């Protein structure tokens, strides 16, 4: 439970009992605290003022509940994680079977988001990002090795368009690009040579926000794609994709799990953290 960063907009949309309690409070005070539509809830100015005053008390209650939670014989409860997709798929997910085996009463809710998120305000227990993209006032825990990128294309595409020898050659090629859902920005293509990283503008002939579509477009011969080696490895091994520009692809920093330094971790989160660090 995390009330300190509570957002009224979705808190009672599917919870009848708290919704009835809120209506009762509004009737008692004679003040509307929530603006309601058929699809959403949002706080009125009076509701926002009330929430600001209540947050310290709610945070204190949460800390007390966390202390009681640590007294359990077996960890139980829900852990909400905000992670970028590669970390969720290739780092967090492979370890969840161990978590389920050791701590079957712990529920995990990973939420995919490639942007930077205020995990406290959004009621997450932790986030996962590359080093350098972590929020301040957080405890970071490294949970992966650095992740290698690779440039690749279908052999049929390369037979038709030629094989680029340097990043400058990409100006004559079709490139498959990623648009980040959170920011709307296109992912920049970076390259590395002699330890120096630099960017190059590339033709954006296919753009999507989904890595499976990016990989599928490359397999279909639509152009050159930049993927994690983990995402491309099976297709490189099978010969349906071929690596291009070897030695030019950068390596992404290691993934770190991070969580608030001022909050007492509950038993479920400590069990999750134990498995992520293994």
DSSP state string for the chain? ---TT--HHHHTTT-HHHHHHHHHHHHHHTS--EEE-SS-EEE-HHHHHHHHHHHHHHHHHHHHHHHHHTT-SS--EEEEEEE-HHHIIIIIGGGHHHHHHH-TTEEEEEEE-SS---TTTTT-SEEEEETT-PPSSEEEEE-S--EEEEEEE-HHHHHHH---SSGGGGGGS-EEEEB-TTT-PBPPPEEEETTEEEE----EEEEES-HHHHHHHHHTTS-EEEEEHHHHHHHHHHTSSEEESTT---EEPPEEEEEETTS---HHHHHHHHHHH-
Question: What is the reported pLDDT for 204?
Answer: 87
Whether residue 67 is predicted with pLDDT greater than 70 in this model: the reply is no
The residue ranking higher by pLDDT, 200 or 207, is 207
Whether residue 5 is predicted with pLDDT greater than 50 in this model: the reply is no
> Could you read off the pLDDT of 99-136 as tens digits, one per residue?
999 999 999 999 998 888 889 888 999 999 987 767 67
Whether residue 72 is predicted with pLDDT greater than 70 in this model: the reply is no
Question: What is the reported pLDDT for 21?
Answer: 75
Contact partners, residue 48, CB within 8 Å, separation at least 6: none
The confidence band for 70, taking pLDDT boundaries of 50, 70 and 90, is low
Strands 204-208, 106-112: pairing kind: unpaired
Whether residue 36 is predicted with pLDDT greater than 50 in this model: the reply is yes
Q: Tell me what percent of the residues of the chain surpass a pLDDT of 90.
A: 58
Whether residue 269 is predicted with pLDDT greater than 50 in this model: the reply is yes
Domains of the chain: 1-69 (1.10.10.10), 76-146+253-278 (3.40.190.10), 147-251 (3.40.190.290)
State how far the Cα of 147 lies from the Cα of 84, in Å rounded to an integer.
13
Question: What is the reported pLDDT for 13?
Answer: 43
State how far the Cα of 20 lies from the Cα of 15, in Å rounded to an integer.
9
Average pLDDT over residues 69-86: 82
Question: What is the reported pLDDT for 116?
Answer: 80
pTM: 0.70
Q: Which of 161, 152, 162 has its CA nearest to residue 235?
A: 152
Q: Which of 61, 76, 218, 78 has its CA nearest to residue 154?
A: 218
The residue ranking higher by pLDDT, 252 or 37, is 252
């Amino acid at each position: 439970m995390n009330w300190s960063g509570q957002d009224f907009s979705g808190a009672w949309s599917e919870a009848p009992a708290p919704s009835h309690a809120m209506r009762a409070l509004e009737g008692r005070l004679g003040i509307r605290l929530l603006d309601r539509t058929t699809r959403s809830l949002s706080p009125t100015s009076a509701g926002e003022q009330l929430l600001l005053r209540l947050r310290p008390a709610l945070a204190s209650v949460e800390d007390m509940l966390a202390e009681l939670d640590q007294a359990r014989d077996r960890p139980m409860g829900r852990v909400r994680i905000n992670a970028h997709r590669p970390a969720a798929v290739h780092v967090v997910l492979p370890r969840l079977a161990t978590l389920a085996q050791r701590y079957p009463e712990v529920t995990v809710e990973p939420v995919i988001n490639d942007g930077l998120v205020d995990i406290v305000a959004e009621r997450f227990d932790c986030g996962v990002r590359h080093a350098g993209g972590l929020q301040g006032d957080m405890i970071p825990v490294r949970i992966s090795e650095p992740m290698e990128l690779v440039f690749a294309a279908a052999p049929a595409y390369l037979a038709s368009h030629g094989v680029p020898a340097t990043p400058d050659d990409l100006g004559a090629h079709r490139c498959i690009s990623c648009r980040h859902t959170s920011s709307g920005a296109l992912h920049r293509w970076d390259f590395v040579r002699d330890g120096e990283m630099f960017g190059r503008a590339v033709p954006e002939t296919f753009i999507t926000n989904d890595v499976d579509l990016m990989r599928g477009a490359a397999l279909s011969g639509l152009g050159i794609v930049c993927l994690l080696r983990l995402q491309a490895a099976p297709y490189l091994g099978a010969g349906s994709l071929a690596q291009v520009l070897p030695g030019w692809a950068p390596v992404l920093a290691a993934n770190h799990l991070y969580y608030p330094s001022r909050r007492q971790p509950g038993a479920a989160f400590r069990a999750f953290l134990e498995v992520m660090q293994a």
